[in-house]
């Protein structure tokens, strides 16, 4: 049987070429500083204070490079510790950081189960790792032990419904190729996948593409020796067992049952999220933020008019023009597509969202009286923030 470390030493994941750092920055959720601030620090973190961050199971470095580069470009101080079992993956991450001239990063080869020995951290990133541990509960608990007071974690774990077809193939390939070396496993599995019948659940699943992108992607998706998925109930349970509370999903709208169907009376939030997950049917990973179980903080909202909104993936002028003309704002998340209807009277205000103006300053430019602005802004915020298109942060101030 190929161990997890042997897999990632042979096929570092995701497959990255450090030379590509000159052409693009890979961004996403979690761990973009705007999103960290919005969800974990109510949009009010003091970015003149160095961010102490741990990237636990950092792989080839996507989360690490995003976090370090955005903070470097903003001229903000940080100290990031990268931790991973695979020396090969670490070498790729180090080369990517070097290509960008990023400093302030300490690279460590080791297990996230030993994270607390490295100190305590304001922010912990752990993406695509916990579901590969022999005892995921131990991983969640170890990361909590490394969290500084007032800190939080951004994480990703696999979800079952959007990965339909994956686990039967993993089990079959595990039985067939247990004694083969990684490269031989890959060659044999590729041949069988090409021969799958049209009706096989894997071939019918449009949510999956890693196997088409690279050898590392194919291996990670279909040949992993240690892999599990969490539905909402499972995820809530493991977080609570290990001392965490799910503060927010990166895209809360995906889990908002009221956007899909009427919510029955008496249904609690976790149950409603689970129903929405089943009705969506396409969610292949849960990307979320967690805080200690007894932590009562909430996500940033524009009731605090001193907050600074940032748009993500959409330009303010184009957004403001479309809204003023009554056009729906298109949103696409994988196989899920929708259109957001925002108050037309807010077009001028949305065009003023430049990452420097506060909500109060935008309100003053909106041409609306305070009551009308507050009502319209609240409606727009509920759509844009919950779809991840607007975040509050003072990082760019």
Two tokens, residue 135: 């005892």
**Residue-range domains of the chain with CATH:** 4-161+227-292 (3.40.50.150), 309-392 (no CATH)
Quote the CA–CA distance of 300 and 385 in Å, as a whole number.
Answer: 9
Quote the CA–CA distance of 291 and 244 in Å, as a whole number.
Answer: 6
User: If you count them, how many residues does the chain have?
Assistant: 397
In tens digits, the chain (397 residues) has pLDDT values of: 688 999 999 999 999 999 999 999 999 999 999 999 999 999 999 999 999 999 999 999 999 999 999 999 999 999 999 999 999 999 999 999 999 999 999 999 999 999 999 999 999 999 999 999 999 999 999 999 999 999 999 999 999 999 999 999 999 999 999 999 999 999 999 999 999 999 999 999 999 999 999 999 999 999 999 999 999 999 999 999 999 999 999 999 999 999 999 999 999 999 999 999 999 999 999 999 999 999 999 999 999 999 999 999 999 999 999 999 999 999 998 889 999 999 999 999 999 999 999 999 999 999 999 999 999 999 999 999 999 999 999 997 5
Q: What is the pLDDT of residue 386?
A: 97
Q: What is the pLDDT of residue 397?
A: 55
Name residue, tokens 């949510």: 207
Residues 234 and 130: beta-carbon distance below 8 Å:
no
Which pTM does this prediction carry? 0.96
58-80 b/e (C-beta count within 10 Å ≥ 16 → b): bbbbbbbbbbbbbbbeeebebeb
Nearest-5° Cα angle at 236, 231 to 242: 125
């Amino acid at each position: 049987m190929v161990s997890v470390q042997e897999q990632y030493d042979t096929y570092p994941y995701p497959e990255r070429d450090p030379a590509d750092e000159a052409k693009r920055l890979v961004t996403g959720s979690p761990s973009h500083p705007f999103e960290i601030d919005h969800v974990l620090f109510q949009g009010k973190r003091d970015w003149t204070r160095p961010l102490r961050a741990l990237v636990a199971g950092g792989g080839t470095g996507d989360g690490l490079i995003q976090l370090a580069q955005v903070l470097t470009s903003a001229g903000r101080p940080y100290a990031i510790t990268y931790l991973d079992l695979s020396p090969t993956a670490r070498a790729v991450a180090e080369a990517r950081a070097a290509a960008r001239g990023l400093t302030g990063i300490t690279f460590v080869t080791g297990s996230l189960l030993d994270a607390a020995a490295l100190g305590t951290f304001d922010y912990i990133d752990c993406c695509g790792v916990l579901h590969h541990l022999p005892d995921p509960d131990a991983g969640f608990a170890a990361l909590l032990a490394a969290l500084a007071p007032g800190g939080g974690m951004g994480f990703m774990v696999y979800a079952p419904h959007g990965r339909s077809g994956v686990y039967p193939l993993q089990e079959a390939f595990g039985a067939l190729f247990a004694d083969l070396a990684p490269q031989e496993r890959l060659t044999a599995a590729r041949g069988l996948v090409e021969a799958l019948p049209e009706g096989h659940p894997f071939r019918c699943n449009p949510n999956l593409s890693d196997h088409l992108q690279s050898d590392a992607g194919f291996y990670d998706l279909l040949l992993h020796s240690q892999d599990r998925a969490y539905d909402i109930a499972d995820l809530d349970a493991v977080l609570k067992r290990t001392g965490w509370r799910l503060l927010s999903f990166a895209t809360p709208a995906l889990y908002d049952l009221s956007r899909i169907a009427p919510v029955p009376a008496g249904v609690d939030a976790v149950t409603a999220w689970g129903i929405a997950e089943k009705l969506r049917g396409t969610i292949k990973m849960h990307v979320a933020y967690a805080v200690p179980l007894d932590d009562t903080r909430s996500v940033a909202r524009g009731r605090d008019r001193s907050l600074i909104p940032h748009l993500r993936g959409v330009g303010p002028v184009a957004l403001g023009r479309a809204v003023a003309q009554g056009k729906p704002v298109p949103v696409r998340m994988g196989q899920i597509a929708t259109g957001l209807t925002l108050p037309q009277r807010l077009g001028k205000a949305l065009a003023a969202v430049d990452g420097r103006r506060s909500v109060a300053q935008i309100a003053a430019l909106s041409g609306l009286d305070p009551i009308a602005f507050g009502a319209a802004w609240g409606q727009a915020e509920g759509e844009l923030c919950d779809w991840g298109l607007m975040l509050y942060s003072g990082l760019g101030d």
